[in-house]
Amino acid sequence: MALKIQQRYETIRDLRARFEQTNESATFGGTPLMTAEAKRGRVVFAKPGRMRWSYEQPDRSEVVSDGETLWIYDVEAESATRLEVTAGFLSGAALQFLLGDGKILESFEVEATACAKDRVTLDLIPRQDSSYERLGLVADRESGDVLATSVLDLFGNLTRIRFEAVEINRDPGPEIFELEVPEGVEVIEYDAPPAR
């Protein structure tokens, strides 16, 4: 199944969808300490390495990258943080292969943890040291389309993202992956630490 997913996403230039994101803070005795309110919005990915997450509920924000610069724009706080994209900056999002960066079978040990008639759930454990413990993918058995992703970080926090109304190869223009900072918004420049 991992090979089918990989082959499917090698044919996709871009993808857009609606999403729902939920976050669970680290557990205590098997019970999540805190589950945040679900976030909803739209996302657009395009190879290589471009994306735009438009959060609509409960709070508006934008996360935008043209593959070189990453912007995080908090609409309510009227602040925009600008970061330089570094190698692997999306690895914790379980989505790097969607953007043309990464091979599932080379990068992860893969185990099918659930198989239903129409979908399969894969557990992906990174083969090298990483900023997360494991990734999860839920994919359509027939097409290999990814329906949901999850990431469990090193502190036990779990983020799940479910996709719907997926459209592929719509050729979004480059302006989709640029952030035009509104007048009056504070811009915070975040410099990456120097390489050692």
Would residue 195 count as lying in a domain?
no
Domain assignment of residue 148, yes or no = yes
d(CA 64, CA 52): 4
Flag whether pLDDT at 30 surpasses 60. Answer: no
pLDDT average, residue stretch 92-119: 74
Task: Give 62 or 86, the one with higher predicted confidence.
Answer: 62
Q: Average the pLDDT over 169-191 and give the result.
A: 93
Beta carbons within 10 angstroms of residue 138's beta carbon:
20
Average pLDDT value over all residues in the chain:
85
Does some domain include residue 101?
yes
Would residue 94 count as lying in a domain?
yes
Q: What is the pLDDT of residue 84?
A: 87
pLDDT at 83 over 60: yes
Q: Kindly state whether residue 36 falls inside one of the protein's structural domains.
A: yes
3-state DSSP call for residue 122? strand
The total number of structural domains in the chain stands at 1
Whether 178 is in a domain gets the answer yes
Tokens at 142, concatenated: 């027939």
The residue segments making up the domain with residue 163 are: 2-190
Most confident of 27-36, 57-66, 80-89, 143-152: 57-66
Confidence of residue 107 (pLDDT cuts 50, 70, 90): confident
Q: Is residue 196 part of a domain?
A: no
pLDDT in tens, 123-161: 988 888 877 888 899 999 998 888 999 988 888 889 999
- pTM here is 0.83
Q: What is the CATH number of the domain that holds 32?
A: 2.50.20.10
Using CA atoms, how far residue 118 sits from 87, 103, 113, in Å, is 35, 24, 14
Of 60, 53, 95, 58, the closest CA to residue 179 belongs to 53
Tell whether the model's pLDDT for residue 71 goes beyond 90: yes
- Res 100 pLDDT > 90: no
Query: CA–CA separation, 187 vs 171, rounded Å?
Result: 29
